[in-house]
Amino acid sequence: MRKIMIIPALVVTLGVGAAIGSTTLLSGNAQEKKVLTMQEIEKKALAVVDGTVVDIELGRSIYEVEVHTDTEEYDLKFDAYSGKLLKQRKEYRDNDDWDDYNVPATTTKMITKEQAIEAALKKVQGTVTKIKLDGGFYEIEIRDGQYEYEVDVNAISGEIVTFEQDIED
């Protein structure tokens, strides 16, 4: 009878010990990982494709980057922690396909992505998870752990033209 009681107790003890050990191991590895910044990923994308980065979006562990050249559109995926290029897709485009990304010809100078991000972060603090140049505006998504914000910044003047706040999923 005593042997029957010892075996289940031993199994439970070993199971709990293994669970605690694996949790400690996993949490230790998670603390060491650091997500690369959008600027670091942009540099990596431009090292792969010589063009203009028009869209960067951070998912759970992958950055999706869209780069345009004069005749092509590239969709790149990078590991958010290591910066390793995971996927690359190239598409040839006609000049008509670029209309959404072109700024009117009368303008001579656009603000940089960094300036657009700075303007958006003056409005709301958080982590930028997406920036996209679209039709003369930078569309920026920011998360702060509670809310998700969408901020549109004029690509010429740097003014915030729209601001939306939603509860983060």
Per-residue pLDDT of the chain (169 residues; tens, 9 = 90+): 555 555 555 455 545 455 444 444 444 454 568 999 999 999 999 999 999 999 999 998 999 999 999 889 999 999 999 999 999 998 887 655 545 554 444 445 889 999 999 999 999 999 999 999 988 899 999 999 899 999 999 999 999 999 998 987 7
- pLDDT at position 167: 86
Residue 86 sits in the same domain as residue 63: yes
d(CA 79, CA 87): 10
> Which residue among 97, 122, 139 closes a domain?
97
Residue 92's domain spans which residues?
36-97
Question: What letter represents residue 77's amino acid?
Answer: K
User: How many domains, the chain?
Assistant: 3
In the chain, beta strands by DSSP E: 52-58, 62-68, 72-79, 85-92, 127-134, 137-143, 147-154, 160-167
> Which residue among 47, 79, 97 closes a domain?
97
| Cα four-point dihedral sign 138, 143, 144, 148 | positive
Phi, psi of 50 (to 5 degrees): -85, 100
Query: Which CATH number characterizes residue 47's domain?
Result: 3.10.450.40
> Which residue among 51, 78, 97 closes a domain?
97
Residue 10 sits in the same domain as residue 70: no
- pLDDT at position 6: 56
